[in-house]
Amino acid sequence: MSQSRAFGVIGLGTFGSTVAAELAGFGNHVIGIDSMDAPVTAMADTLREAVIADGRDEKALREAGIGQCDVVLVSIGDDLEASIVCAMNVKLIGIECIWAKADTRTHHRILSRLGVDRVIHPEEQMGQRVAQMLHNPTVRDYVSLGNGFFAVTMVVPDALEGKALSSLEMTSRFDVKCLEIMRGRELLTNTDADPVLKKDDRMLVLGTRPDLRAFAKSF
């Protein structure tokens, strides 16, 4: 189990409050901050600390304890100025790892130039995942790993029932790699050097989007 850390989430809208609640559920210390009373009150029983403060006010952020956090997420996506100023303040406070939500490409570029470690587009990224799953019924999850690579969880279809994993020639034909195979709660790749596939097995496959698409089309 990973060691708990201290997180700051600034902006407790739908996205920010969801991230904050999940992090707290993992046993982490989470400081939730919003400039409005209602979202802070809504999170008061979920987080160890929920504070009303303006992310544009460096002093207020320091007083809220942001400087004690290992990671801070700036989830102010709908107010460009507030998001940028908040990210600058968090940087000035000395937080080493900063994530931020962006709504537009311009917003993304500005945050990146400010030194934000990772800029995310929740709606865009979720839209891509949903489209991929709708397009290919065998895909159950779809995660970008950066640098053009994706990890996809695929359910073994009828066409691959009874075939050995090696017979798919995944690396040589498609330049993708099967990282693991799950059958129920059993991890087959830990017990069998060349497992025989069954319908509804789940394969975790690594590759670029074009290569993964070509592999999926092959069956």
CATH node for 125-217: 3.30.70.1450
Q: Which helix (H) or strand (E) holds 212?
A: helix 209-217
Beta strand 71-74 with 202-208 is unpaired
Residue 218's φ and ψ, nearest 5 degrees, are -70, -20
Query: pLDDT tens across 75-116, in order?
Result: 997 789 999 999 999 999 999 999 999 988 899 999 999 999
Strand partners, 120: 101
Concatenated DSSP letters of 12-51: -SHHHHHHHHHHHHTT-EEEEEESSHHHHHHHTTTSSEEE
The answer, yes or no, to whether residue 128 has pLDDT greater than 70, is: no
Tell me if 188 sits within 8 A of 182, measured CB to CB. Answer: yes
Query: Can you tell me the distance from the alpha carbon of 67 to that of 137, in angstroms, rounded to the nearest whole number?
Result: 45
Residue 122 above 90 pLDDT? no
What pLDDT shows up at residue 89? Answer: 97
For residue 98, give the H/E element and its range: strand 97-101
**What is the per-residue pLDDT for 1?**
41
> Domain 6-120, what fold?
Rossmann fold (3.40.50)
CA distance 37 to 153: 40
Looking at residue 60, its pLDDT comes to 96
Q: For the whole model, what pTM was predicted?
A: 0.68
DSSP 3-state of 150: strand
Task: Tell me how far the alpha carbon of residue 183 is from its chain's centroid.
Answer: 25
- Can you name the residues that pair with 52 across neighbouring β-strands? 34
Listed by start position, the domains of the chain span: 6-120, 125-217
Token pair, residue 34, equals 């919003």
Distance CA 191, CA 40 (A): 49
Place 210 in a pLDDT band, splitting at 50, 70 and 90.
Answer: confident
What average pLDDT does the structure give for the chain?
87
Predicted confidence (pLDDT) at residue 2 exceeds the cutoff of 70: no
For tokens 């034909």, what's the residue? Answer: 173
Reading the block at residue 137, the tokens are 């019924």
DSSP class per residue in 102-124: -SSHHHHHHHHHTT-SEEE-HHH
Please enumerate in sequence order all residues whose Cβ is within 8 A of that of 95, keeping only pairs 6 or more positions apart, or say none.
8, 66, 67, 69, 71, 72
pLDDT for 3 beyond 80: no
- The tokens describing 194, both together, are 């060349």
